[in-house]
Structure 1
Amino acid sequence: MLSVKDAEAIILNLVQPLDAQRDVEIVDLWAASDRILANPITSQLDFPHWDNSAMDGYAVRYEDVKQANAEQPAILEIIEEIPAGYQPKSTIQSGQAARIFTGAVIPAGADTVVMQERTRREENRVLILAAPQPQEFVRHKASYYQAGTQLLPPGIKLKAAEIAVLAAAQCPEVKVYRRPRVAIFATGDELVTPNTPLQPGQIVDSNDYALATLVRESGAEPLLLGIVKDNPDALQQTIAYAINNADIVLSSGGVSVGEYDYVDKILEALAAKIHIRAVEMTPGKPLTVASFPNQHSALYFGLPGNPVSALVTFWRFVQPAIKKLAGLAEGWEAKFVKVRSHDELRANGKRETYIWGRLYLINGVYEFHKAGGSHSSGNLINLAQTNALAVLPVGQTFISPGEEVQALLLANS
């Protein structure tokens, strides 16, 4: 049985990010939210595009106003008014000023803006009542970004700020990585769909719904293959189809050691190399990870069938793998923080233990609150609204209230 750290290292080493030449598509900027940028972006525009004013006030020559004060104001002739979007027509000479507004182009000859609150206007003259700093309130051309240099690096997720930058740089279309395809299916004769009346012994398949949601949240496209009964031939056909049509395959159930757990045997029949069969963690011990070195690039995850185990193993191992595969240059690793535990937390110490609950910000400190009720791997009900998992390492059996604990942040944190 592998440690969690060893299993994580094996999985992330198996993941090869999408190809920056082959696995890309061009999308309209309106459709680029949360996509991963595939190539570096440069612009032929300087930012700012020209010297402009950061304030409503008056564009002046610093030499004319450097001694100004309320008792002896500098008195300047106003020769032009410059709103935003207007190209100045005049050059500011000694003893002159231009009325200017935020964002407007600084006129030739001026090098400083005096904010209007430090002035008094009298018809076509302005009295400067306080000396500014040299070049005050002037935003200089190319001071934010110089044309021809890298504006945005590849491998970043495009959020609101990045999309605003692309729009300002006049990039109406961008090249992004395609979304990874993730095939999902559940195994078991006992499973039925949510719209099927339950018979004794049957269980509604919730795993497919949860995993598909998590796959979408991770930036990938789910390929839903439904429920596969405990029939080796049907299961082999489904796995063969999945590895030929997806980048990652997720099955739930069938990876333990029961008489109807066929996944590992079928993978071996399909010439898979099985890298992981079990992980030293709870919930989530039965985990199969396989690759197909001679046939396919797909990475196979056989997740446990118990609902909580399936989600915990996804959060801990699959989600980082999808994010790395998707082309993210960094930030795809599982994210942990140290928090204060509100509750007593217990484990048997034999395996790394994950306890689900919620983080709350209380008096400036993040506090972990354990979900109420049974913490059985089959109890899906109290997993609702979970946004973090407290982690007790091997050998640790107890966390007292108020004690620090490491928490795994989930996608909805």
Structure 2
Amino acid sequence: MNVLREVAPREEVLTKVIRELGFPWELPPRETPLALEDAAGFPLGETLVASQDHPPFSRSLRDGFAVRCEETAGASPGTPAFLRLAGEVPMGGPASEPLRRGEVLSIHTGGMLPPGADGVLMLEDATVTAGWVEARKALQRGENVVFQGEEYRRGDSLLTAGSRLDERHVGIFAALGKGVVPGVDLSATVLSTGDEVVPLETDPVPQGCVRDVNGWFLTGFLRRRGFRVRHGGILRDDPEALATGFQRAFEESDLILLSGGSSVSVRDHCEEILSQIPAPGLMVRGVNIQPGKPTHLAGSLVPRRLVVGFPGHPLACATVAYTVLLPLLGAWMGSPETWTCRKERVTLLRDLVARAGVEEFVPGRWTPQGVVPLPSASGYVAALREADGFLRFPQERETARSGEEVEFWWIPR
């Protein structure tokens, strides 16, 4: 077992786990395809290949007149070109005949470009008089039109297997006439641990105890991403109970998430369990991020399993989910760009003191002027309710002043 030192940089951790587990893994197909209206959020089960060109025909982007662009050469308000108006292209159908030389056809936005035409003269650049069109602008080929197959051709790969679908992708399936989507059959178990953690229905909560927040957060987090999730309840601080609960999860699920209790004994018991799973076993016992240092990562190749041990504090748990788990899921699926947080440079609107020597993530709210850091501590439950993402401070940066540029990670929706 080759375990990284107690606390390792996040990028080093991700590189090690991805390499040791040999991501991406083959994706088991979902037995029943997804209805298109339900597909957003789910991973795609197989590569989407275009069954037709798009656009399926050359079409107009403006209301105006379909023309041969060469016949408008040199046209201007002072020296217009004159072309005969020969008719109109009906919406929802083709022109009755090709465009002849010296003629134009009236066409609407979205209309099918007639054979022979290679541009559209906009209404504002023309005047119609007694069956003739006065063209006051010279056009280049392709102006105000989109040609058949310009976006993609039949046989092109449009989305790779493992891509996490969202509303941007649903329209592509609709354009291809596909009302169902091949999905991926992935299972997960979420386990909470610790004697201080009690079920959500507990009322009143005993002194010194907290309701299970992380278990429900992680369950919702995975369901939104297409996993079949079992919330396995709360495991007490007992080696036998922890081992039994984990063993069931390991046998049943592709992904096992453990939300840690606060006690040292729970962490010790969980680490012992993770060290006994098949190779590569326990790989990471700490990630150098704030919040979220006490994160464990393990996995096996036979059977294929990924195991993540989360810190017990709610904000720390959520931070690890977005900054560690999501990149691992993206690598697992073979489509990192559709799973991970989108990053951009933004203006900081308040001074913020970070700690040197640790990569720090601070919840932030986006505004048109920049990002406002939000009050947060690792134990906060509702710190993300107004957050649009996280301000990221690399371990070598200590302080950022209002007006400075910083990195912002958008929370995927």
TM-score normalised per structure 1: 0.81
Q: Residue 105 of structure 1: which of 107, 112, 115 is its match?
A: 112
State the distance in 2 between where 1:280 and 1:60 align. Answer: 64
- C-alpha contact 2:189 2:230 (8 A) present in aligned 1: yes
Q: Which residue of 2 aligns with 1:52?
A: 59
- 2:87 is paired with a residue whose SS is strand
In the TM superposition, residue 399 of structure 1 has moved relative to its aligned partner by 1.0
Aligned to 1:380: 381
Which one of the candidate residues 7, 27, 30 is aligned to 1:2?
7
C-alpha contact 1:355 1:370 (8 A) present in aligned 2: no
1:236 paired to 2:237:
no
Query: Which runs of 5 or more residues in structure 2 are unaligned?
Result: 1-5
Residue 411 (str. 1) matches residue 408 (str. 2)? no
Greater mean alpha carbon deviation, residues 102-111 or residues 70-79: 70-79
- Partner secondary structure for residue 262 of structure 1: helix
Question: Could you tell me whether the CA contact under 8 Å between 1:68 and 1:128 is conserved in 2?
Answer: no
Aligned counterparts of 1:369 and 1:209: Cα–Cα separation in 2:
26
CA contact (8 A) 1:218 1:319 kept: no
Q: State the distance in 2 between where 1:326 and 1:212 align.
A: 19
Is contact 1:57–1:114 with CA below 8 Å preserved after alignment? yes
SS of 2:264's partner is: coil
Shift of 1:261: 4.3
| 8 A Cα contact 2:29 2:183, kept in partner | no
Q: How does 1:53-72 map to 2 (within 5 A)?
A: 53-61=60-68, 66=73
Q: Is the 8 A contact 2:63 2:107 kept in 1?
A: yes
Distance 2:28 2:361 in 1: 42
Once the two structures are superposed, residues 116-153 of structure 1 have per-residue CA deviations (whole angstroms, 9 ceiling, x without a partner) of 33333345x12324253254444433333333333444
Does structure 1 residue 148 correspond to structure 2 residue 155?
Answer: yes
Name the SS for the 2:271 alignment partner: helix
* Alpha carbons 1:59, 1:110 under 8 Å: kept: yes
> Given residue 59 of structure 1, which amino acid in structure 2 is its aligned partner?
A
Distance 1:285 1:62 in 2: 64
1:220 pairs with one of 221, 227, 234: 227
Q: CA 1:371–1:218 in structure 2 vs 1: closer, same or farther (change >3 Å)? A: farther
Question: TM-score when scaled to structure 2?
Answer: 0.81
- CA-CA distance at 1:242 after TM superposition: 0.6
Contact kept, 8 Å, 2:54 with 2:151, in 1: the verdict is yes
Q: 1:132 aligns with which of 133, 138, 145?
A: 138
Secondary structure (helix, strand or coil) at the match of 1:402 reads: coil
Question: Given that residues 44 and 147 in structure 1 are in contact (C-alpha distance below 8 angstroms), is that contact kept between their aligned partners in structure 2?
Answer: yes
Q: Deviations over 1:204-260 (max 9, x none)?
A: 221212222333344434320111112222221110111111112111225863388
- What pairs up with 1:3-402 in 2 under 5 angstroms? 3-5=8-10, 6-15=12-21, 16-20=23-27, 22=29, 26-61=33-68, 66=73, 76-122=83-129, 125-135=131-141, 136-178=143-185, 180-196=186-202, 197-254=204-261, 257-258=264-265, 261-268=268-275, 273-293=281-301, 295-330=302-337, 332=339, 337-341=344-348, 342-347=350-355, 349=356, 351-352=357-358, 354=360, 356-361=362-367, 363=369, 366-371=370-375, 375=377, 377-380=378-381, 382=383, 384-394=385-395, 398-402=398-402
Cα distance 1:107–1:270, how it changes in 2: closer, same or farther (>3 A)? closer
SS state of the match for residue 222, structure 1? strand
* Cα pair 2:58 2:148 within 8 Å, conserved: yes
Q: Distance in 1 between matches of 2:148 and 2:345?
A: 44
Query: What SS does the aligned partner of 1:186 have?
Result: strand
Do the aligned partners of 1:177 and 1:326 also contact (CA within 8 Å) in 2? no
Deviations 1:180-213 (A, max 9, x none): 3221111122221222122233222212122223
Structure scoring higher RCO (CA < 8 A, sep ≥ 6) equals 2
**3-state secondary structure, aligned to 2:168:** helix
Structure 1 stretches lacking a partner, 5+ long: none
Q: Distance in 1 between matches of 2:117 and 2:403?
A: 61
Evaluate the alpha carbon distance shift between residue 316 and residue 260 of structure 1 in structure 2; reply closer, same or farther with a 3 A threshold: closer
What is the RMSD computed on CA atoms of the aligned residues?
3.5
Letter of the 1:371 partner, please give it. P
Q: 2: CA distance between counterparts of 1:390 and 1:71? A: 57
Contact preservation (8 Å) 2:330, 2:337: no
Does structure 1 conserve the Cα–Cα contact (< 8 Å) formed by 2:42 and 2:225?
A: no
CA pair 138-256 structure 1, distance change in 2 beyond 3 A: same
Amino acid at match of 2:53: D
Work out whether residues 76 and 126 of structure 1, in 8 Å CA contact, stay in contact via their aligned partners in 2.
yes
CA contact (8 A) 1:253 1:261 kept: no
Say how many residue pairs are matched.
402
1:227 alignment partner, SS class? strand
How far apart are residue 62 of structure 1 and its match?
Answer: 5.1
Separation (CA, whole Å) in 2 of partners of 1:156 and 1:40: 9
Q: SS in structure 2 opposite 1:37?
A: coil
Deviation at 1:335, TM superposition (A): 5.7
The structural deviation recorded for 1:318 is 1.8
Distance 1:55 1:395 in 2: 53
